[in-house]
Each structure stands twice: as structure tokens, then as C-alpha cells.
Amino acid sequence: MKIRMSSPDLTEADRQAVEAVVNTPNLSMGPNIDAFEKAFCELTGAKHAIGVNSGTAGLHLCIRAADINPGDIVITTPFSFVSSTNVILFEKAIPVFVDVDLITGNIDVDLLAQAVEDLSLGGESARRRLPRRVPDFNQGQSGSVKAILPVDVFGQPADYDPINVIAKQYDLKIIEDSCEALGGEYQGRYAGTLGDYGVFAFYPNKQITTGEGGMIITDDDEAADFMRALRNQGRAPGDTWLQHTFLGYNYRLDEMSAALGLSQLKRLESLLAKRARVADWYAEHLKNIEEVTPPQLVENTTKVSWFVYVIKVDEKIDRDRLAVILEEKGVPVRPYFAPIHTQPYMVKMFGYQQGDFPVTEDLGNRSLALPFSGRMSEEEVLTVCQRLAEALVSAKR
């Protein structure tokens, strides 16, 4: 039994969908991306869907659409995959981190409210909220708070009712990083539709995959046109192939990827159900292992979209040693997430120190992602749990 960290779920129909595209001359900007985008609008109820070649590209286009300029501030979370912060830095804007909730790993909305208030007061209140060292991105001119970028961590949406209240009060855009939450729901509302723009991603470990790919959804007509233009080298509607109204990118999603995504999306419910079944097996078999806490869901999460299965280990356990022992036993695991503010380039740029975001750091020190995909059997889950129980004995501090 070879246990994998994750594994895409591909069928013969998926393979045929890709093969059908490569039998045509139309490999980019053809009917498949149109159909894939339309399917996303139907699924989520969003007015516009814009396919792109990664989740990161999608988030970057949202930053551009929100008119975020050098020196502007975007409030976000340090407990995420790096790209949610990197896209802010791509525009030389300043990510200001707010610590997270211990249960969900999502941005702490009380701390968020305080941070926005302090930043809007300016002066010393604002200064306290900024990183220790702020690079001079805009010749000494500090910009204003423009947006909030919450992340729906591990498939559980952040707490968007209070986030929307704050955004309205201070006239901020909300960019929802739903790259881990396709199909998840917050109080019956679809993940990705809970702010101004939502972004999904389709890397092979995500709930559906296109190899590489992403999708932006929004109800904002003007932003949608702008993001469509930027994805296609800045060509505005009406531009010819060699006319470029805006500074844009090649963020296009190719036809093979779009065809695969469309085929996968048709099976979304069953893909999510398979992942939920694996999560249930884990919960069942972890029940009696007292040194670990399984993922916890909150009431607002009316549907979780299982992305990864991340446990928290007790403080008495040396998590890194546990990971080494598990790898030796043939169980791949990942410390997940490594806090963004402790990444070398972030420390160098902003002067972050240990202790700056204690909850994120605590989660970063105690979290462990177990092997997870919808294709795991109960036997594999049981094996992981048994080896975990054995490894825990040797990993006590």
C-alpha cells in the first residue's frame, strides 16, 4: 500500500474531454473556456466567471481590479498559502496581517475590526498596526486601506457577515481567497460569492483540477471586463490582437485545461462527497487518539468543502519529530501552513519576529496535514491512524 499525500480523481470521461480538444486546432480561447466559465456562473450564481491559469493569477487580477496601488494597504491573514500575500506585494502594496481564530484558522474578525479602526485613525494608532519595517514602496507616501483579503482556510469559509459590515463601514473591497473552498457554504451561501470577488484554484490537490488553473467570480461588470482584458495581455473589448489598452499579462487558461475542468466540475458533488467520506473515516479512527485534535467546524459553515485534513497535535508532542517518524513509516505528512510572516523573504522585507502573530504561530507549530484525497480507502485511513498512534508514543517531548 503506497499512501500518497494527495491524488487527483480522474476518470475516462476526463481523459476523453482532453483528447477531444487535442484533436482540434483550437487549443486556447475556444469553446471550452466559455463553457467552463458559464458552468461556474450557473453553479455559484455569480454574474461573471473569468478563467485564468492559476489561483495566484486570479488573486492578482482581483488586486488590480480593486485599484490597489503602491503603498496602499490590504489587510489579510498570515495563516495561508503564500500567494494570498504575494499578490499584494506584486503591486507594491503593503499586506497588514491580522491574526486568526484558533478553531478555524480563519481571520479573527474582532482583531480585524480593531485593525481597520486603528489604521483609519492614522498617526500612532495606525503605526502600531503596520509591520516593524515598511519598505518605501511609494516615496514616503503611505496609502490608505483599500481591501480585505480573507482566506477560506482548509475549505471552511471565513466569517463574512462581520467582514462585510466592516468593509461597508470603511468602504473597502473584499477579495475572497476561496482557492481551498470550492463548494463550501457559509450560512447557505456559496464560498467565493461572499465578497466583491472570489477566486478558486485547480492545482492537482484541489477539489477539482485542471493541472494548473483558476477561476475568478464577481458580480461587478466593470471589474469583470477589466480582468478579462488583463488576463489577455491588456486587450480591452474591441482591441485587435496587437492593441493593448492596459498593462496586462498572459494569464489565459488553455482549452485542454478548461475541458478537463468542465468535465471535473460536472462531478463536483460526487467528488466532494468522496472527500467528506474520507474525512468521516478519519474522524472515526482518530476519536480515541487523545494527543490529536481533528479539524473543527463552526456553525456558520453550513457546508465544508474538504480540501486537506489537518490535525492539531498536543503541546506534549514534538510535531516535527512526529512528522519524521511518520515519513519513515511510509505516511507522508506536511506541517501546514508555515506562517507567511516567518518566511525568509517576509522577515527580510518587513522585519517580522517570532511572537508577532501568536495564534498563527501556534497553529503553524502544531498543525499536521495527513494524507488526504477522495480516492483514499478506509483501509488506508485506518493504516494512517494506526501508524500515527504508534508514532505519537515516540514523539513525546
Ligand X SMILES: *Cc1c(COP(=O)(O)O)cnc(C)c1O
Grid coordinates 464577481 are at which residue?
218
The span from the CA of 77 to the CA of 83, in Å, is: 11
Among 54, 156, 210, 233, binds ligand X (CB under 6 A): 54
> What letters, b where the CB count within 10 A reaches 16 and e where it falls short, cover 301-322?
bebbbbbbbbbbbeeebebeeb
Strand pairing category for 185-186 and 301-303 = antiparallel
* Using rule CB under 6 A, residue 383 touches ligand X: no
Among 6, 44, 77, 83, binds ligand X (CB under 6 A): 83
Helix axis angle, 160-170 relative to 109-121, nearest 10°? 10
* Using rule CB under 6 A, residue 151 touches ligand X: yes
Among 40, 81, 190, 357, binds ligand X (CB under 6 A): 81
Of 114-122, 176-184, 274-282, 314-322: span binding ligand X (CB under 6 A): 176-184
Residue 334 contacts residue 117 (beta carbons within 8 Å): no
Residue 346 Cβ vs ligand X, minimum distance, rounded to whole Å: 16
The span from the CA of 342 to the CA of 179, in Å, is: 22
Residue 31 Cβ vs ligand X, minimum distance, rounded to whole Å: 23
Residue 55 Cβ vs ligand X, minimum distance, rounded to whole Å: 3
* Using rule CB under 6 A, residue 87 touches ligand X: no
* Using rule CB under 6 A, residue 360 touches ligand X: no
The span from the CA of 93 to the CA of 267, in Å, is: 39
Q: Which is nearer to ligand X, 71 or 213 (CB)?
A: 213
Site for ligand X in 316-355 (CB under 6 A): none
Give the side-chain half-sphere CA count within 13 A for 392: 19
Of 99-107, 113-121, 173-181, 315-323: span binding ligand X (CB under 6 A): 173-181
Among 79, 190, 203, 372, binds ligand X (CB under 6 A): 203
Q: Which is nearer to ligand X, 151 or 272 (CB)?
A: 151
* Using rule CB under 6 A, residue 177 touches ligand X: yes
* Using rule CB under 6 A, residue 301 touches ligand X: no
Number of shown-chain residues binding ligand X (CB under 6 A)? 14
Q: Which is nearer to ligand X, 177 or 291 (CB)?
A: 177
* Using rule CB under 6 A, residue 84 touches ligand X: yes
Residue 6 Cβ vs ligand X, minimum distance, rounded to whole Å: 12
Residue 182 Cβ vs ligand X, minimum distance, rounded to whole Å: 11
**Please, is 177 exposed, middle or buried when counting C-beta atoms within 10 Å of its C-beta (0-12, 13-18, 19+)?**
buried
Residue 151 Cβ vs ligand X, minimum distance, rounded to whole Å: 5
* Using rule CB under 6 A, residue 80 touches ligand X: yes
The span from the CA of 267 to the CA of 279, in Å, is: 19
Residue closest to ligand X, measured at CB: 55
Among 179, 259, 271, 388, binds ligand X (CB under 6 A): 179
* Using rule CB under 6 A, residue 214 touches ligand X: yes
Among 37, 91, 99, 180, binds ligand X (CB under 6 A): 180
The span from the CA of 367 to the CA of 330, in Å, is: 19
3-state DSSP of 150-200 = CECHHHCCCCHHHHHHHHHHHCCEEEEECCCCCCCEECCEECCCCCCEEEE
The span from the CA of 389 to the CA of 391, in Å, is: 6
* Using rule CB under 6 A, residue 55 touches ligand X: yes
The span from the CA of 397 to the CA of 389, in Å, is: 15
> What letters, b where the CB count within 10 A reaches 16 and e where it falls short, cover 362-376?
bbbebbbbbbbbbbb
The residues pairing with 97 across neighbouring beta strands, listed in sequence order, are 76
Residues that bind ligand X (CB under 6 A): 54-56, 80-81, 83-84, 151, 177, 179-180, 201, 203, 214
